[in-house]
Amino acid sequence: MEYPDRFDVIVIGGGHAGTEAALASARMGCQTLLLTHNIETLGQMSCNPAIGGIGKSHLVKEIDALGGAMGLATDLGGIQFRVLNARKGPAVRATRAQADRVRYKAAIRGMLENQPNLMLFQQAAGDLIVDGDTVRGVVTETGIRFHAETIVLCTGTFLGGVIHIGLEQSRGGRAGDPPSNALASRLRALPFRVDRLKTGTPPRLDAKSVDFSALEEQPGDMPTPVMSYLGRRDMHPRQVSCHIAHTNERTHEIIFANLDRSPMYSGMIEGVGPRYCPSIEDKVHRFADKASHQVFIEPEGLDTHELYPNGISTSLPFDVQLQVVRSIEGLENARITRPGYAIEYDFFDPRDLKHSLETKFIHNLFFAGQINGTTGYEEAGAQGLLAGLNAARRARGLEAWWPRRDEAYLGVLVDDLIRLGTKEPYRMFTSRAEYRLLLREDNADLRLTEAGRELGLIDDARWAAFSDKREAIERESARLKSGWVQPGTAAAAAVEAKTGQPLAREYSLLDLLKRPELGYADVAGLVGEPVSDEAVAEQVQIQAKYQGYIDRQQDEIDKLKRHEATPLPANLDYSRVEGLSHEIRQKLAEARPQSLAQAARISGVTPAAVSILLIHLKKRR
Ligand code: FAD
């Protein structure tokens, strides 16, 4: 049957990529259909109920700065918030929230159901309608045909999904959900490069059977951080603690003794797993000299006793999982509520995509999320937003948009995927961004919200809140610059008490704020009234303290832009370029970039290395 309405954009899959894609397209005014297996699983967290963390919170804040849902849903569903790396520099600081799985999902569903221009439909997509090299629509597994200008595919781990528990296998998209086999076969017939990856999840535990007195308590931060730029503490539900347990030598012995029953070590799983989120069997095998690994015991929600033991993801057989869990102090009598498992699935080589996330071979077809070889809700959500907005722009005949590497982690993510592809599940780290001092989680709104407004992603309420904040930062910075502290005054005495040094001459409040011993709270009230908005105060402080480094990084970007077109000779002998590391020499020799800009985009080739290349080229002339 032909569905009577025609859509601008159809998004297939209601996970983290699909929901952001559908919301972005609908926010831009496009008639959008979100077609998904099951409306009850919209926004479902397949694995750990947590959002953010190092590198990942940067993506969440960027999604938020572009009007997306993940940050606000985290504030509505978060039950423990912490800022990681709080004592380190602002570039690597990262907010992490433990989420109540049910509340998070409800928040996402609420946003979807209330979004104008968006229709939800529950059915499995079984086929794509492709006319020559252009996609025209989708056919559900029961034969309903939907037509649209553009399609965004966000099917996660479901394509050809195979679940492994020990040597037992079953077909599934994740535990409790069917795989997408019809669609997987259809896609395999198109000219994309396809391969297999795997990921895993730990068994879940019943809190009533855990001895918390033997575990270390880890409360959230006070005052509670927020995730969204529109987030408020009073949105958060009740806050609870997480706990920390440890594996021990006995745990590791059990795992070693049963490795032959692990599908990964018996060769049954061919897909490569996430290097940075390895299974417990991988950890004890790879780090055999370590006597213990941490296990974070995280609540799954406020209205359930289920716990998520973060750190013991496994595909060992169930009887071994039980022994492993019960070997851990505090978990001796633990009951498992759901076994852990690994899942293998099809992913498509992201080098077959453009920066807009449109496929190179089929026009108007976009891919986003785990289907592109990434892992993580945040990576999926960020791609979904980008693909959704570009699908909407294409449907309207507009040029594609994407941020550059110096503008957003989203730019880094997409550029890495498109140019380098991936051989293992790709996750974000701050170390992947060469300009990380500019790409902080605290300034994602200042970097992206204006572009988001121009793209049609930002509603009036968010725009007003953002504009007010931006003006307040400018006003407060100007006030600090023009407020002076004179020697011999009460204000000077307060500074001297804090720094232990006499104030020899007059200083502006802004200059005082640049001193490492002084923070905003110490100086802002010395002359005039400080601002009460914490986000404004934080931004003013970071900009003051790091201005020198930020300017230097901006200079590097400007220099690189000026020299982007500088050609690199085809016969350049990189082994003779002094100052380059062996690894960078090797990468350049292999990739043979044609220009400095191309060299700069090779992973691991640092801005410093590009400067060395530039100097070398000048010397050769
Ligand atoms: P998903 O969240 O998987 O959503 C896909 C959606 O598409 C689902 O709603 C599904 O119903 C729908 N769908 C699929 N096929 C069709 C179809 N044919 N028609 C209609 N709808 C369809 N991430 C980490 O960062 N760390 C981990 O340790 C980790 N472990 C994981 C362990 C397991 C077992 C699983 C399953 C996932 C794990 N993840 C982990 C990954 C994380 O869940 C994903 O990265 C994230 O959910 C990907 O988002 P997505 O939107 O691409 O796909």
Whether the per-residue pLDDT at 584 is higher than 80: the answer is yes
C-alpha torsion angle, residues 432, 438, 441, 445 (rounded to 10): -130
CA of 15 to the centre of ligand 1 (A): 6
What is the longest distance spanned by two Cα atoms in the chain? 85
Q: Quick check: pTM over 0.95?
A: no
Contacts of 257 (CB under 8 A, 6+ apart): none
Contacts of 79 (CB under 8 A, 6+ apart): 97, 98, 99, 100, 103, 236, 237, 238, 239, 240, 299, 301, 302
Lowest-pLDDT choice from 13-27, 245-259, 591-605: 591-605
State how far the Cα of 29 lies from the Cα of 438, in Å rounded to an integer: 32
Ligand 1 pocket test: which of 70, 154, 428 has the largest number of ligand atoms within 8 Å of its C-beta?
Answer: 154
- Once rounded to an integer, what is the mean pLDDT over residues 377-382? 98
Q: What is the 3-state secondary structure (H, E, C) of 173-232?
A: CECCECCEHHHHHHHHCCCCCEEEEEEEECCEEEHHHCCHHHCEEECCCCCCCCCCCCCC
Of ligand 1's listed atoms, the one at least distance from the Cα of 277 is 28
Give the pLDDT band of residue 385 (cuts 50, 70, 90): very high
Nearest residue by C-alpha to atom 11 in ligand 1 = 37
CA of 43 to the centre of ligand 1 (A): 9
Q: What is the pLDDT of residue 276?
A: 67
CA of 226 to the centre of ligand 1 (A): 25
Q: What is the pLDDT of residue 602?
A: 78
ipTM of the complex: 0.97
Structure tokens at 436: 């990380």
Structure tokens at 47: 């694995």
Give the pLDDT band of residue 286 (cuts 50, 70, 90): confident
C-alpha torsion angle, residues 245, 250, 251, 254 (rounded to 10): -170
In 3D, which of 81, 26, 419, 404 has the Cα closest to residue 232?
81
pLDDT digit string (tens) for 311-351?
Answer: 999 999 999 999 999 999 999 999 999 999 999 999 999 99
Nearest residue by C-alpha to atom 25 in ligand 1 = 376
User: Residue 508 is which amino acid?
Assistant: S
Ligand 1 site residues, Cβ closer than 6 angstroms = 12-18, 35-38, 41, 46-47, 124-125, 154-158, 173-174, 177, 180, 183, 199-201, 277, 313, 343, 369-370, 375-377, 380
Give the pLDDT band of residue 250 (cuts 50, 70, 90): very high
Nearest residue by C-alpha to atom 43 in ligand 1 = 46
- Once rounded to an integer, what is the mean pLDDT over residues 231-237? 96
What does the buried/exposed string (b/e) look like for 11-46 if buried means 16 or more CB atoms within 10 Å of the residue's CB?
A: bbbbbbbbbbbbbbbbbbebbbbbbbbeeebbbbbb
Give the pLDDT band of residue 535 (cuts 50, 70, 90): very high
Average pLDDT, the chain: 94
State how far the Cα of 382 lies from the Cα of 241, in Å rounded to an integer: 28
- CB neighbours of residue 329 within 10 Å: 14
- CB neighbours of residue 411 within 10 Å: 23
- CB neighbours of residue 325 within 10 Å: 27
The residue with greater pLDDT, 284 or 559, is 284
CA of 155 to the centre of ligand 1 (A): 7
Structure tokens at 34: 């979100």
Give the pLDDT band of residue 271 (cuts 50, 70, 90): confident
Under 8 Å between Cβ of 440 and 416: no
Nearest residue by C-alpha to atom 22 in ligand 1 = 13
CA of 24 to the centre of ligand 1 (A): 19
CA of 348 to the centre of ligand 1 (A): 15
State how far the Cα of 123 lies from the Cα of 42, in Å rounded to an integer: 13
Phi, psi (degrees; rounded to nearest 5) at 114:
-95, 5
Nearest residue by C-alpha to atom 29 in ligand 1 = 47
CA of 141 to the centre of ligand 1 (A): 20
Phi, psi (degrees; rounded to nearest 5) at 156:
55, -130
- Once rounded to an integer, what is the mean pLDDT over residues 531-552? 93
CA of 47 to the centre of ligand 1 (A): 9
Q: What is the pLDDT of residue 274?
A: 72
pLDDT digit string (tens) for 481-516?
Answer: 999 999 999 999 999 999 999 999 999 999 999 999
CA of 16 to the centre of ligand 1 (A): 8
Structure tokens at 65: 């700065």
State how far the Cα of 205 lies from the Cα of 325, in Å rounded to an integer: 9
Of ligand 1's listed atoms, the one at least distance from the Cα of 174 is 36
- Once rounded to an integer, what is the mean pLDDT over residues 125-144? 96
Q: What is the pLDDT of residue 89?
A: 85
Of ligand 1's listed atoms, the one at least distance from the Cα of 157 is 3
Of ligand 1's listed atoms, the one at least distance from the Cα of 126 is 18
In 3D, which of 99, 61, 104, 53 has the Cα closest to residue 80?
99
- Once rounded to an integer, what is the mean pLDDT over residues 276-297? 89
- Once rounded to an integer, what is the mean pLDDT over residues 506-529? 95
Chain mean position to CA 88: 20
In 3D, which of 414, 399, 258, 409 has the Cα closest to residue 323?
258
